[in-house]
Amino acid sequence: MKKHLLFWGFLTFVNFVSGQKNIVIALQNPMNEARTDEPIILTRKDLEKKAGKALLNKAPKFTKNTGEILPSQTDDLNGDGTWDEVIFVTNFKNKEKYTVNITFVQPEELPTLKKRTQARLAKLDGEQFIAITKETMPKGHKQTDFSTTKMPLYQTEGPAWENDKVGFRLYFDPRNGKDIFGKTTSDLVLHKVGLPGGNYHVKSDWGMDVLKVGASLGAGALALQVTDYQGKTTLARLGDNVEQTTYELVSDGVVRSIFRLHYKNWQPTPGEKYNVMEEIHIIAGQYYIESKVTINGLNSEKYLVTGIANLLSQKALQFEGEKYGYLATHDTQSENKDKLGMGIVFDKTHFAGFGETPKSGSEKVLQTYFIKLKMKDKQPVAFKFYAAWEATDQRFKDAGYFETFLQSEIKRFSQPIQVKGKGKFTKS
């Protein structure tokens, strides 16, 4: 997916007191709709062009012309010890425009902010789970059999991530499925979920696991369209026939958390072998997560497949706009037997069609509505997965509201926030 901002001209800089440099940017909402927690992402290169490398050894601070400090964080995406992107979130009224000052301070001078996202993998060590930042799945690791094992190797059976709206988990075993934690609180809770004595399949004061996954792709798990030995077109689930699977935490931040899953030597068929990387982002205030998938080793265009469990849904909602489209369901399909909306928003550039798997049989993927996305070697493809539970927001009880919400999201991505410079830069 494209980032949610558009550079309108160049970033511009003016002098600041005490010899410091101050970057002033003007932000404008082109939509006739309000926007809440809009993420604005700037790269290190964007800022270095005018501020200089020495200045960027400090931390950027974002302040509106009203004096309000905007929640932000820097992220080191390539692991070289230097941040590559900075993200901040801000609100807009209809057609609103305003300026933001970017100053550079020592990290300890930044205000303490409420943490609104987290990503974690915790591994059993004795009788407790310890959070870890990198882990390669043990060879032969299988789905936990709770009839014989009291505790799984990993808390919540794998990585868990959340923001103030919704949570997710991934089964860190050959199933490789994605599941949803519906939330009824804005607090971060998943570090306390999946511990002895708890049952996240039953609704509690924070929420619950709301999705039954089964043999489906659940909440946006991955597969590849392949031709089997009988010449039949089918889906190969990512997770099966992988030599090595590794989890890597990239950022566990106040407004954005990121982690990566590396799949080494995946063989969707005996004659194919690929390395796959999925990078997952979750941002404060959003009902979606974004997956960015890259496959190395393709010698021709292939179709990446992702989908939505349709164990309890009656129909698929399909939409194709000029730039974006979506696949969605809305039904009494939560484990709490109430309304749950799920959706996948995709960029039309990569879209190759909708589909539906069989309800039963010997296929690796069943009971799934899916989309196909065109993949080329080493070229990332992204999509967003939405989860909207009525217990989180009663408005999601209505199917019409959920579809209107998805349409509004597509409109938001099609009309990104405009960023414009003011004045001229003069060295102090």
Q: DSSP states of 263-303 as a string?
A: EEEE-SSTT--EEEEEEEEEETT-SEEEEEEEEE--SS-EE
Query: Alpha-carbon distance 402 to 308, whole Å?
Result: 16
Query: Alpha-carbon distance 13 to 21, whole Å?
Result: 7
| Fold: same for 5-113+414-421 and 118-397 | no
- Residue 313: its H or E element: none
State the amino acid at position 326 in one-letter form.
Y
Task: State the architecture of 118-397 in CATH terms.
Answer: Distorted Sandwich (2.70)
| Digit-coded pLDDT (tens) for 227-237 | 987 889 999 99
pLDDT for the residue numbered 4: 47
DSSP summary character for residue 188: -
pLDDT along the chain (428 residues), means of 10: 46 42 89 96 86 76 94 96 95 97 89 96 96 97 89 97 98 97 98 94 97 97 92 94 98 98 97 97 98 97 97 96 97 98 98 97 96 98 98 98 98 94 36
DSSP summary character for residue 403: H
Of residues 243, 249, 273, the one with CA closest to residue 261: 249
Query: Alpha-carbon distance 245 to 139, whole Å?
Result: 9
Query: Alpha-carbon distance 255 to 71, whole Å?
Result: 7
109 in the Ramachandran plot: left (φ > 0), alpha (ψ -120 to 50) or beta? alpha
Residue 282, beta-bridge partner list: 257, 289
- Please give the C-alpha separations between residue 32 and each of 35, 91, 97, 352, 406, in angstroms, as whole numbers: 10, 14, 12, 31, 16
Sign of CA dihedral 356, 362, 364, 367: positive
Of residues 152, 151, 415, 412, the one with CA closest to residue 286: 412
Where in the chain are the domains? 5-113+414-421, 118-397
Arithmetic mean of pLDDT over the chain: 92
Place of tokens 């990566």: 260
DSSP summary character for residue 312: S
Query: Alpha-carbon distance 428 to 424, whole Å?
Result: 12
Q: b/e per residue, 201-226, with b = 16+ CB within 10 A?
A: eebeebbbbbbbbebbbbbbbbbbbb
- Judge residue 132's burial from the number of C-beta atoms within 10 Å of its C-beta, 0-12 exposed, 13-18 middle, 19 or more buried: middle
pLDDT for the residue numbered 361: 94
Do residues 247 and 134 lie in contact, with contact meaning Cβ atoms separated by under 8 Å?
Answer: yes
Q: Which CATH superfamily, name and number, covers 5-113+414-421? A: Golgi alpha-mannosidase II (2.60.40.1180)
